[in-house]
Amino acid sequence: MFQVQLLLSLLTLSFTTQSYTYTSQLSILQSNPNPLSISVTKFGAAGDGIHYDTVPIQKAINACSAAVSKHRRQCHVIFPPGNYLTATVFLKSGVVLDIHKKATILGGPKLEDYPKEQSKWYVVLAEDAADVGITGGGEINGQGLKFVQRFDKKKNVMVSWNHTGACLGDECRPRLVGFIGCRNIEISDVRLIEPAYWCLHLVRSDNTSISDVTIYGDFNSPNNDGIDIEDSNNTVITRCNINTGDDAICPKSSTGPVHNLTATNCWIRTKSSAIKLGSASFYTFKNFLFDNITIFESHRGLALQIRDGGNVSDITFSNINISTRYYHPSWWGRAEPIYVTTCPRDATSKAGSISNLLFVNITSTSENGIFLSGSGGGVLSNLKFINMNLTYKRWTKYPDGWVDYRPGCQELVKHQTAGVMMEHIDGLVFENVVMKWSNDESMRWNNPLDFRPSTVNNISMLNFYSRSYQQ
Ligand SMILES: *[C@@H]1O[C@H](CO)[C@@H](O)[C@H](O)[C@H]1NC(C)=O
Ligand SMILES: *[C@@H]1O[C@H](CO)[C@@H](O)[C@H](O)[C@H]1NC(C)=O
Ligand SMILES: *[C@@H]1O[C@H](CO)[C@@H](O)[C@H](O)[C@H]1NC(C)=O
Ligand SMILES: *[C@@H]1O[C@H](CO)[C@@H](O)[C@H](O)[C@H]1NC(C)=O
Ligand SMILES: *[C@@H]1O[C@H](CO)[C@@H](O)[C@H](O)[C@H]1NC(C)=O
Ligand SMILES: *[C@@H]1O[C@H](CO)[C@@H](O)[C@H](O)[C@H]1NC(C)=O
Ligand SMILES: *[C@@H]1O[C@H](CO)[C@@H](O)[C@H](O)[C@H]1NC(C)=O
Ligand SMILES: *[C@@H]1O[C@H](CO)[C@@H](O)[C@H](O)[C@H]1NC(C)=O
Ligand SMILES: *[C@@H]1O[C@H](CO)[C@@H](O)[C@H](O)[C@H]1NC(C)=O
Ligand SMILES: *[C@@H]1O[C@H](CO)[C@@H](O)[C@H](O)[C@H]1NC(C)=O
């Protein structure tokens, strides 16, 4: 108590004109239009990018948090222009990081910059907090390139902190920003740059808004996912720009379901899947909407990679333009604009079911076809494709002729390219679908619809049109 009062007496609390209204029953805050604010420089942050500012930043957050408790109002920790090098900092309830557009929070590149428990390896971490956020137009930068052990245009080899025994293989690196067990999260107007591993990670959280966020990760570095929505409900993403090596928007279920996810008005480029459900898929995915999204030169467009027995239903993809191309096959993805798969990852896994998918108003130009693959234990049912313009042509020199079940299942299987490859489906509608094939000899394509020798039942096609065209 003494310490809190001491800190408070050090503060100069100021008011800004921004207005916040809290109507939530869950909210710890009273509705008050004026958030409190406190600058990290008040606690001695250098902002020179050389000296660690961890202690001043954490003191500012703690002071803000104390002010939140006292005044029951949100409090902004202000980062004025500068570069703030830091070890992990812990965000508290009611606190918003307000990073000036000329300010950067730089994550430390050393193992000792992160907590002992690997599950807490983030540059910014909020745990069991409510009414938290990040805003201000500035940047959080994980210095991901400092984690590259060997640069390789195919795929960089990354540093691994696996010698700690905390995790395995090359996925043993810190994430950038994490919210674990949080509610009422608002991330807006911020750049999240060069994560060493995953970028923005929601875990067991509820009611998250992510808007006007730019995410950039090195195109050749593995695992630098954009937004991972794990075991979390009620997430709204809008106006995002994501350019990464690994998956861009990636709901996962490891310990619980994911309900109600919306992503709209986004631009995405990735060497993996632009939108990917899975592959961690132990529980339900339900009620997702992806609308008005441009996917540019990615390895895979819209993907369901269900491998662990979780069921998926009621997912809509609308008004989406896609271009997908081949990259080096060490990256999952074979240029599929749409990829809907469920199969048991390995002998110990189950296959989940996938039902009620709607794809509407989709335009794509791609080097490979659509892949729709259920499996014996997990059927795809009630899939609808309405208003689709699909253009197929080749423009890279990477080899084709595989279907890609990775991770696990049948891995890579040699198979002739098809416009739509189908297996284990019950209930499929194509309506107003135009498929155009570049008649380039080298493509050897003559296969608009391909049914693997397995069940595909109850198909309806209305205005389905397929033809070759002169490039
Ligand atoms: C750590 O990961 C590297 C790279 O994947 C690997 O070569 C090494 O054997 C791993 N070490 C341990 C202890 O897992
Ligand atoms: C969700 O969080 C926002 C703040 O990000 C808050 O304004 C809103 O009231 C919350 N909604 C619910 C249902 O808690
Ligand atoms: C999400 O909603 C489901 C279904 O209501 C619930 O079981 C789960 O606990 C919720 N998760 C969180 C993190 O609130
Ligand atoms: C999902 O959204 C619907 C409609 O807004 C709501 O009724 C339902 O409670 C939400 N589910 C969860 C788990 O919060
Ligand atoms: C679609 O998203 C873009 C941003 O990517 C935006 O400029 C445009 O207004 C959106 N269109 C609609 C209809 O919302
Ligand atoms: C997709 O392309 C069409 C035609 O070029 C355009 O009218 C539409 O706005 C684009 N939609 C998106 C989401 O980019
Ligand atoms: C998926 O659905 C099947 C069939 O309804 C059910 O038996 C199974 O428990 C569900 N899986 C999960 C993880 O909820
Ligand atoms: C497909 O192309 C046709 C003809 O150019 C156009 O009228 C239609 O709007 C396009 N549909 C989509 C979903 O882009
Ligand atoms: C699909 O596009 C048509 C024509 O542009 C539009 O009228 C319709 O609302 C769109 N459908 C959806 C679900 O967005
Ligand atoms: C056939 O599939 C359609 C669309 O998925 C579905 O609405 C219909 O109920 C199915 N019919 C049967 C007999 O299963």
| Crossing angle for the helix pair 2-10 and 54-71, to the nearest 10 degrees | 100
pLDDT of amino acid 443: 65
Distance 462 CA to ligand 8 centre (A): 16
* CA proximity to 228, closest of 297, 266, 179, 173: 179
Residue 298 above 50 pLDDT? yes
* pLDDT (tens digit per residue) in 162-207: 999 999 887 899 999 999 999 999 999 999 999 999 999 999 999 9
Quick one: which H or E segment has residue 6?
helix 2-10
User: Would the CB of 448 count as within 6 Å of ligand 7?
Assistant: no
Residue 1 above 60 pLDDT? no
* CA proximity to 43, closest of 11, 2, 82, 9: 11
Question: What percent of the chain lies above the pLDDT cut of 70?
Answer: 92
Are 235 and 259 in contact by the 8 Å Cβ rule? The answer is: no
* pLDDT (tens digit per residue) in 98-137: 999 999 999 999 999 999 999 999 999 999 999 999 999 9
pLDDT of amino acid 28: 62
> pLDDT class for 7, splitting at 50, 70, 90?
very low
pLDDT of amino acid 454: 81
Q: Which residues contact residue 161 at a Cβ distance below 8 angstroms, ignoring those fewer than 6 apart?
A: 111, 167, 172, 173
Ligand 3 binding pocket mutation candidate from 182, 230, 233 (most atoms within 8 A of CB): 233
* pLDDT (tens digit per residue) in 200-216: 999 999 999 999 999 99
pLDDT of amino acid 22: 35
Which contacts qualify for 117-122: CB closer than 8 Å, 24 or more apart? 117/166, 118/164, 118/166, 118/167, 118/172, 119/180, 120/88, 120/178, 121/88, 121/173, 121/174, 121/175, 121/197, 122/88, 122/174, 122/175, 122/176, 122/177, 122/178, 122/201
User: Would the CB of 321 count as within 6 Å of ligand 6?
Assistant: yes
Ligand 10 binding pocket mutation candidate from 358, 458, 459 (most atoms within 8 A of CB): 458
